[in-house]
Structure 1
Amino acid sequence: MIEQPKPSALSKQIEEMVEWLASYGKDNSGGVTRLLYDPAWSAAQKAIQARIELLGLSARYDDVGNLFGRLSGRDPEANVVLTGSHVDTVIGGGKYDGAYGIIAALIAVEYLLTHYGQPLKPIEVVSLCEEEGSRFPMTYWGSGNITGVKEREAVHHINDVNGIPFEQAMHEAGFGLGLHAQPTRKDLECFIELHIEQGQVLEREEKSIGIVSHIVGQRRYNITVYGQSNHAGTTPMHWRHDAMFTSAELIRILMHRANAHESGLVATVGRMEVKPNVGNVIAREVTFSLDVRHSDAKIIEQFCEACFSDFETVTSEHGTTVTCHKWMDEPPVAMDCTLNQTAEDILKREGISYKRMTSGAGHDSQIFGTHCPTGLLFVPSQGGISHSPAEFTHTEDLQRGVRLLIDLLYKLAY
């Protein structure tokens, strides 16, 4: 058992650092907006760099803007224990999403260096340049480049909403110019990400820590129903080929099947486009989104097949047709069992409540999880609210996460 920081001092340090990092990109609503390569993003990375150097770590960027703080190890042949999260936010986001993982990593490494000196294996804190996809239609740009999943060619023709090309923004921020090392890493022992849950499970079940076993797979579709426009007043109900009526039936099927599922599957219809979208005209075409998530790819496949079979029956009854265009199919990713067991052993020893759980949201850990042993740990989110200025986690919960990270890094690197 290692000596832990005093709760009062740790609480104060966490609270001060949360506000410190939130000051970069703080907006009038109380939210935080740091978009990839924008001025607030650049200022935040420079502030973290300064903090890294103040701690006595060596700081460096890679060529896409990921920032690393390295605490060298005694074994020159050892691979790197990497910990951190993403620095970018959604527009008007909260103080904790991503930022907490970076803050916790800085605090943990500072504490270990001060109290235990140089580790056996090198530890690196990472402030990942991008995860959210809030400025450009590109997610996991930071972790994707480190693991080799993303390629520079993928952003050649991508612009933000103001028409600024991705590569122009990257160059103006000082990256993508060959001034820094290439991002791909082959020297990672493991990756540990500490994150707020962004859901209500831990709070409702009164658990202090979530140990994530899997990050769910995601399938996304655009479902389009084709009918026939006609006059709303002169066309009898039984003669109609109504794309809106059909769509309502299809959505009911999706929600009914998802609600009846007992294994945690979730399905969401969140967007709809109607043509001609006129109040007194029967809809001829409706497109709606479908998002399906589960930790087992086979269950996602079975759910979709069953629903789409029902779709054909319903559209035939309504005299309409349907197409289902799949545009995302991300498989579930398992976190490392050994890392999870190590975290569980620590929590049991300390008498801290925890829950093994799946993550319904995507995280950088799912990218690292196919590249090296990866652990994703959650602390509770009040009300499950995230991506909002109302995002909040109690300091006591943040503190428990940092203490766990200190213990875990000690076991992995010392």
Structure 2
Amino acid sequence: MDLEKVLADNLVNLSAIGSDPTGGMTRLLYTDSWLDAQKYVEKQLTEAGLTAHFDAVGNLFGRVEGTKYPEETILSGSHIDTVVNGGTLDGQYGVIAAYVAIQYLLATYGKPLRSMEVISMAEEEGSRFPTVFWGSKNFVCEAKREDVEGISDFEGKKFVDEMRRQGFDFRDDTEAKRDDIKAFVEIHIEQGNVLENQDLQIGVVNNIAGQRRYTIVLKGEANHAGTTPMGYRKDAVYGFSKICSEIIDRAVEVGDPLVVTFGKVEPKPNTVNVVPGEVLFTMDCRHTDKEVLKNFTEEAEALMKEVAEHHGLSIDIDLWMDEAPVPMNEEIVAAVEQAAKEQEMNYRVMHSGAGHDSQIIAPHYPSAMIFVPSIKGISHNPAEETKHEDLVAGVKVLAQTLYELAYKE
């Protein structure tokens, strides 16, 4: 089997489904292009000798039974949906890599001792409907129908109607979580530039960072830009600038892996000749240690209140996301690291600053992730790209990992 060619052909063929005229790719949950992509993957799974089936909500599985321990399953895969006008690797590379790796193992070594399975998860991105991880949350029986029964997309199409239009429905709430999964390995592009900057081929992920996200509103007093002396102003933008500067400076002091981002800023009235009386802004903070994350953000909250009081501003702080860090399983991480060594790859152990399906699955089943480099760290963008030799290297490490987990006693 020519692994490099099979991988390249599948990437080209699958990327054509949902291709965007601007050069990117848009494949949103329960759209026709999404279903076409899942059907393409289903065909590839069947042709590779796997038994394919969909679950109730549209997660796709391809399975080969183990010869000695069929009740123990080694799982690999990722998500098939994209962001709007995204790239051609985020998500689908992990799906393709999983079935190409298993196809290679079957052709090289025959059937495994333990069962191997590919999962192409229905949705991870949250790009069409206001819900995320719909695929993986259903897989681990965490998804709640009440969270999606009333939601619609940007065109007003209802989630439930679109799900049923494509032939899917809610899972049976009485259905028990699977007890056969012994390991889950997800491969993904890094979506950052650490590996590229360090000239490495593989990242062995041992932790997914926790996230705390805030929306903050500072209120002062809008007033005339020419007639209001500096000492009499209640300038909300000035207050925001102090908050932004001091918290970022503090984050630099704390150091990696802490990151903090003020990504959205909306001053009002946002015009050239009026002192801004209000600013809405967001803060996104991430760290791999739950206590460090909690302590830093609580310190940041106190600082924001102090700045607001000092400048005569009112402040409203809304913490609307609080996701704890998710460590990967040490044994599975060790298996990935050993596979990278055996394949003679340049690698490093690292954390993921972005969220992935693995963070949903890891609390339920032993899990780990493999990263391959992203050129310039670009992702969620038509310019998203990874050298083909790095994509191949990732599949080789994944295949070696699956071999260790599924073929050995």
* TM interval, short-chain normalised: over 0.9
1:251 pairs, out of 241, 244, 248, with 244
Cα distance in structure 2, aligned partners of 1:337 and 1:190: 11
* Number of the residue aligned with 2:348: 355
1:381 pairs, out of 374, 378, 382, with 374
Structure 1 residue 53 and structure 2 residue 39: aligned? no
1:411 pairs, out of 372, 387, 404, with 404
* Number of the residue aligned with 1:167: 160
* Number of the residue aligned with 2:288: 295
* Number of the residue aligned with 2:141: 148
Cα distance in structure 1, aligned partners of 2:97 and 2:171: 30
The structural deviation recorded for 1:258 is 1.7
Cα distance in structure 2, aligned partners of 1:300 and 1:324: 17
| Worse overlay, 17-26 or 280-289 | 280-289
Q: Is the 8 A contact 2:343 2:396 kept in 1?
A: no
Cα distance in structure 2, aligned partners of 1:276 and 1:343: 53
Structure 1, gaps ≥5 residues long: none
Using the size of structure 1 for normalisation, the TM-score is 0.95
Deviation digits for residues 157-200 of structure 1 (CA, Å, limit 9, x no counterpart): 11110111111111111100679x96943321111101111110
1:322 pairs, out of 315, 318, 322, with 315
* Number of the residue aligned with 1:91: 84
Deviation digits for residues 80-130 of structure 1 (CA, Å, limit 9, x no counterpart): 111011000011111111111111111111112222222111111111000
* Number of the residue aligned with 1:111: 104
* Number of the residue aligned with 2:385: 392
Closer, same or farther: CA 200–287 of 1 in aligned 2, 3 Å: same
The structural deviation recorded for 1:283 is 2.0
2:229 pairs, out of 217, 231, 236, with 236
Cα distance in structure 2, aligned partners of 1:110 and 1:310: 55
Structure 1 residue 204 and structure 2 residue 204: aligned? no
The structural deviation recorded for 1:71 is 0.5
Q: Is the 8 A contact 1:171 1:177 kept in 2?
A: no
Deviation digits for residues 363-383 of structure 1 (CA, Å, limit 9, x no counterpart): 001111111100100011111
Query: 1:60 aligns to what SS in structure 2?
Result: strand
The structural deviation recorded for 1:23 is 0.7
Count, aligned residues: 407
Query: 1:35 aligns to what SS in structure 2?
Result: coil
Q: Is the 8 A contact 1:97 1:195 kept in 2?
A: yes
Closer, same or farther: CA 148–20 of 1 in aligned 2, 3 Å: same
Q: Is the 8 A contact 1:216 1:293 kept in 2?
A: yes
* Number of the residue aligned with 1:310: 303
Cα distance in structure 1, aligned partners of 2:266 and 2:280: 5
Using the size of structure 2 for normalisation, the TM-score is 0.96
* Number of the residue aligned with 1:369: 362
Give the % identical residues.
44
Structure 2, gaps ≥5 residues long: none
* Number of the residue aligned with 1:33: 26
Deviation digits for residues 239-291 of structure 1 (CA, Å, limit 9, x no counterpart): 11111111111111122112222232111111122233333222222110000
